[in-house]
Amino acid sequence: MGTERKRKISLFDVMDDPSAAAKNTKISGLADGGINSLINKWNGKPYSQRYYDILEKRRTLPVWLQKEEFLKTLNSNQTLILVGETGSGKTTQIPQFVIDAVDSETSDKRRKWLVGCTQPRRVAAMSVSRRVAEEMDVTIGEEVGYSIRFEDCSSPRTVLKYLTDGMLLREAMADPLLERYKVIILDEAHERTLATDVLFGLLKEVLKNRPDLKLVVMSATLEAEKFQDYFSGAPLMKVPGRLHPVEIFYTQEPERDYLEAAIRTVVQIHMCEPPGDILVFLTGEEEIEDACRKINKEVGNLGDQVGPIKVVPLYSTLPPAMQQKIFDPAPEPVTEGGPPGRKIVVSTNIAETSLTIDGIVYVIDPGFAKQKVYNPRIRVESLLVSPISKASAHQRSGRAGRTRPGKCFRLYTEKSFNNDLQPQTYPEILRSNLANTVLTLKKLGIDDLVHFDFMDPPAPETLMRALEVLNYLGALDDEGNLTKTGEIMSEFPLDPQMAKMLIVSPEFNCSNEILSVSAMLSGPPFTFIFLFLLPLVSIRVRLSSAVSSVGSAYPWLGGVLIPNCFIRPREAQKAADEAKARFGHIDGDHLTLLNVYHAFKQHNEDPNWCYENFINNRAMKSADNVRQQLVRIMSRFNLKMCSTDFNSRDYYINIRKAMLAGYFMQVAHLERTGHYLTVKDNQVVHLHPSNCLDHKPEWVIYNEYVLTSRNFIRTVTDIRGEWLVDVASHYYDLSNFPNCEAKRVIEKLYKKREREKEESKKNRK
């Protein structure tokens, strides 16, 4: 042991590693020369005992065995690909290796350099940076920090910053060469989020212009060679993970009903397998709740011959208190020495990627997940239950081997796994509406999108659609160049339509109200579990997420997930509906949301008021947060905050007109047949039953097009046909309009306008 340690010391002492000296001190009792090393070079304070305790554990991480190799490779290359499985320690250790190396070769001790490490999720950026600050024995926000939307926890002293990939993209908009950074680490690159994919292309350009910048791409398996090709043969390093073996079982025959098969498998495991918790992957809330009931019933029928079970559902919209239950221990045996209890977690993909549950020994994988697909032709996207990828299946099975050897039951045949599953899930950029992304790219100075070096180029049609939308919104001119309006739009963390509606809202004298509506329509109202208690050694961050996120991938409007501020508990649906009706505005759902926001403020943001009115307090707080951010951006561009007099007839009219100025491409017309057709695309759509209108308006704008049991438009507001002609005549240009009822109506409206003009002329004469 001693020799091994000494060997390690000799390997690392090039790096001026204080821990090496500390080891020396400990082992041989030599304080000599170790005195300076007992001082933390980052903050000049003596190391705490805890530092050494953690260091001991850190050194056992697989990645430490390759520290020297890593630094050598990094030293002689501008780009490096690092592949590491779960438990290798790459997310926490590699960035520390990097800052040590940069520090030792920088003569300028004023340290005007920074190392950035991106994460796809905020929680990861926060928790990992906290952990690393602890490991380095510094205060979070000082030498080590993080930066996420709404929270910049870093200082001028910061040398290592964890940030979300989207945040780095935002920084690039202001600092196109990312000049603050010496090294950028793109972590979880295999997830291929929209932001990471854009960063790939951007960094490839930046590296050409900045020979002093280095890039480390960290990923979990499989696609590494693809990354290598993309980054012109950058060296590849592999770090082993640390997972227990997981035995994989397939079914002999394809299962007809995966839900039934999953439940059957749960029961069998519970009856026949040794103790250990079960994780079942299903596709959605309803299915999960259904499965939980059935599992309870079936195991209940078995009586006392089996141990007690605790069945826990898990999906993102579950209230946090309920989510917390996944960490409860398995139930105790009913009688002493009786059959042991078992916890059964029935979860969506959230457990595949974002969340880790320790103690899982058995995984049941039916092989399906809900995935978003985008069809640029009809500009509609929908959630489809579809087969997962091999990478995803691999990640799911890995969930069984966190604490000890486990088993994974795949409810499909081995042949099907080999032949039918695609290796990776399509990256988000191929499944998304790219209006927002294109706007960002334009702002980043990338003019030629066709020749932009995407790792996976999106369909030309998707890019064309995006350019078209941006042109209609006035963000791009006819040559495709960013306009002044486009510049401002790109600064808003919103989809282009919404950004446009905000920018023009002062002209309609209602920017205060449009700000509130926008905030209510955006923001992250999602509930998630936040874990402060991190495992000492390995910090888990999402490994593979073949079935991973789809960002701004909504039809038409490209990217607003309605935060449902209305709570509707199963046991109090009627009361909840009545409460909602009290906020209802007959002209539409947007105005209803405005009512809710105003009421929330009038009641001083009181959580009790929220509870009594079936309003989601978290969603409201989030909306308020978003609103504040939007206000700051508005002020930055001298956009006036104003309101029409509430008692004026025009109060709501102005708001509706301003909304139309952004959302004129999302209009539906009520046909004489009694159903709605979307304008120009002529898709038959239905008002979503959640709407609060008391009538069927002839024209509506809608915020969301959802394809479920029918084609629904959700969050709709009544507008007038005349406004189409007034506010968006460039889009409602009749020479470029498919022949339909709506066209004929608009034609009449134009003629009416003409007549009015004539008359007013006459009257003036």
The DSSP string of 58-97 is: HTTSGGGGGHHHHHHHHHH-SEEEEEE-TTS-HHHHHHHH
Q: In 222-257, which residue ranges form alpha helices assigned H by DSSP?
A: 224-230
Does residue 383 bind DNA (CB under 7 A)?
yes
Q: Does 674 bind DNA (CB under 7 A)?
A: no
Phi, psi of 514 (to 5 degrees): -65, -35
DSSP string, 329-340: PPPPPSSTTSPP
Touching DNA, residues 48-67 (CB under 7 A)? none
* Among 63, 215, 345, 369, interactor with DNA by CB under 7 A: 369
Where are the alpha helices (H) located in 454-549, listed in sequence order? Answer: 460-472, 484-491, 496-504, 511-521
Q: Choose which of 24, 91, 548, 613 interacts with DNA (CB under 7 A).
A: 548
Cβ nearer to DNA, comparing 114 with 541? 541
Minimal distance, residue 311 CB to DNA, in Å:
17
Residue 71 or 517: the one with the smaller Cβ distance to DNA is 517
Binding mask 471-510 for DNA (x = CB under 7 A): ----------------------xx----------------
Q: Where does this chain touch DNA (CB under 7 A) — which range of 303-311, 397-405, 545-553, 755-763?
A: 545-553
Distances in Å between the Cα of 260 and the Cα atoms of 67, 255, 256, 366, 676 are 49, 9, 9, 10, 39
Pick one of 23, 122, 342, 402: the residue that binds DNA (CB under 7 A).
122
Q: Smallest distance, Å, CB 63 to DNA?
A: 24
Query: Considering just the CA atoms, what is the radius of gyration of the chain in Å?
Result: 29
For the chain, how are helix, strand and coil distributed in percent, rounded to 5? 45, 15, 40
CA–CA distance, 2 with 8 (Å, rounded to integer):
10
Contact string (CB under 7 A) for DNA, positions 345-364, x = contact: ---xxx--xx----------
Q: Does 552 bind DNA (CB under 7 A)?
A: yes
State the minimum distance, in angstroms, from the CB of residue 605 to DNA: 22
Q: Which of 306, 619, 706, 713 binds DNA (CB under 7 A)?
A: 706
Which range of residues in 70-78, 386-394, 520-528, 752-760 is near DNA by CB under 7 A?
Answer: 520-528
Going from the C-alpha of 11 to that of each of 7, 106, 240, 273, the distances in angstroms are: 6, 20, 20, 46
- Bridge partners of 326? none
Task: Pull the structure tokens for residue 330.
Answer: 């398995």
Q: Which is nearer to DNA, 65 or 561 (CB)?
A: 561
The C-alpha atoms of residue 343 and residue 51 are separated, in whole angstroms, by: 36
- Footprint of DNA on residues 136-155 (CB under 7 A)? 148-149
Is 708 a residue that touches DNA (CB under 7 A)? yes
Total chain residues near DNA (CB under 7 A)? 58
Q: Which of residues 416-475 bind DNA (CB under 7 A)?
A: 436
Considering only residues 170, 343, 379, 585, which one is a binding residue for DNA as defined by CB under 7 A?
170
Cβ proximity to DNA, 490 vs 509, nearer residue? 490
Which of 475, 478, 468 minimizes the C-alpha distance to 440?
Answer: 475
What residue has token string 């605790």? 310
Contact window for DNA (CB under 7 A) among 51-59, 463-471, 559-567, 721-729:
559-567
Structure tokens at 13: 């002492």
Is there binding between residue 396 and DNA (CB under 7 A)?
Answer: no
Q: Among 181-189, 356-364, 518-526, 676-684, which window interacts with DNA (CB under 7 A)?
A: 518-526
Task: State the pairing for strand pair 676-678/684-687.
Answer: antiparallel
- The answer to whether residue 166 forms part of the interface with DNA (CB under 7 A) is yes
DSSP sequence for 549-581: ---S--TTT---PPP--B---GGGHHHHHHHHH
Could you say whether residue 307 binds DNA (CB under 7 A)?
A: no
422, 564, 635, 760: which one binds DNA (CB under 7 A): 564
Residue 742 binds DNA, judged by CB under 7 A: no
- Report the sign of the C-alpha dihedral through residues 180, 184, 187, 193, in that order: positive
Sign of CA dihedral 52, 54, 57, 58: negative
CB of 152 to DNA, least distance (A): 10
C-alpha 556/C-alpha 553 separation (Å) is 9
Residue closer to DNA, measured from CB, 24 or 522: 522
- Build a one-symbol-per-residue string for 565-604: x at contacts with DNA by CB under 7 A, - elsewhere: ---x--------x---------------------------
Specify the DSSP class assigned to residue 109.
T
Determine if 713 is a binding residue for DNA (CB under 7 A). Answer: no
Interface positions with DNA (CB under 7 A) = 120-123, 148-149, 164, 166-167, 169-170, 193, 195, 283-286, 315-317, 348-350, 353-354, 369-372, 383, 436, 493-494, 522, 524, 526, 528, 547-553, 559-561, 564, 568, 577, 688-690, 706, 708-710, 712
